[in-house]
Amino acid sequence: MGSFFNADEVFEMAMDIEKSGEAYYRKAAGRMENPKVKDLMDYLADEEQKHHQVFAELRGSLPEKLTVRSMPDPENQERLYLGALVKSRLFTGDQEAERVAASMDGELEALKTALDFEKDTILFFIAMKDMTDEKLGREKIDLLINEEHAHVVKISKEIDKLK
């Protein structure tokens, strides 16, 4: 027996991802000796905080018990896919994100971890967007996906400079 997706749950997952990312970037920034890498980590932490706020606003504007899709997911395929994306991400919470940042061995490793996080976030947001009704902020999710793409580019450029 399948179920409907609940938009509130999906937006909450997105908020958790952004909060974990912010925790990672803040902790990593405090460990960076290279001022450019530190500045990038601080910038990314601020961006994650802004994205969290966007999802909080979207979540707050939802009508009660609104579902993301108007059709059921009888075999739970979409729910399983989203769940797999969430479970496979680098950080399972703020404490895990901070632990990972504290264990980084240098700027290059910290940036590579950041790159993986941003790529995972893009995959989640794309899946989320595909399951979000246009009236619920699909265009805002598109904007966030574009911002995450820009993060990937910034991080990739910094990695290239360090190599």
- Residue 37 sits in a domain of what CATH number? 1.20.1260.10
- Measured distance CA(1)–CA(73) in Å, rounded: 9
- Number of independent structural domains in the chain: 1
Residue 2 within a domain: no
- State pLDDT tens for residues 100-140: 999 999 999 999 999 999 999 998 888 888 777 777 777 88
Residue 59: domain span? 7-65+72-162
For position 25, what pLDDT does the model report? Answer: 97
Residue 93 within a domain: yes
Which tokens go with 63? 């009508």
> What percent of the residues of the chain are helix, what percent strand, and what percent coil, each to the nearest 5?
75, 0, 20
For position 71, what pLDDT does the model report? Answer: 46
Residue 126 within a domain: yes
From the DSSP assignment, how many helices (H) and strands (E) are in the chain? 6, 0
Residue 1 within a domain: no
For position 56, what pLDDT does the model report? Answer: 92
- Which residue carries 């450029």 as its tokens? 157
Q: Which residues of the chain have pLDDT under 50?
A: 1-4, 67-68, 70-71
For position 3, what pLDDT does the model report? Answer: 46
Q: 6 - beta bridge partners?
A: 67
For position 64, what pLDDT does the model report? Answer: 66
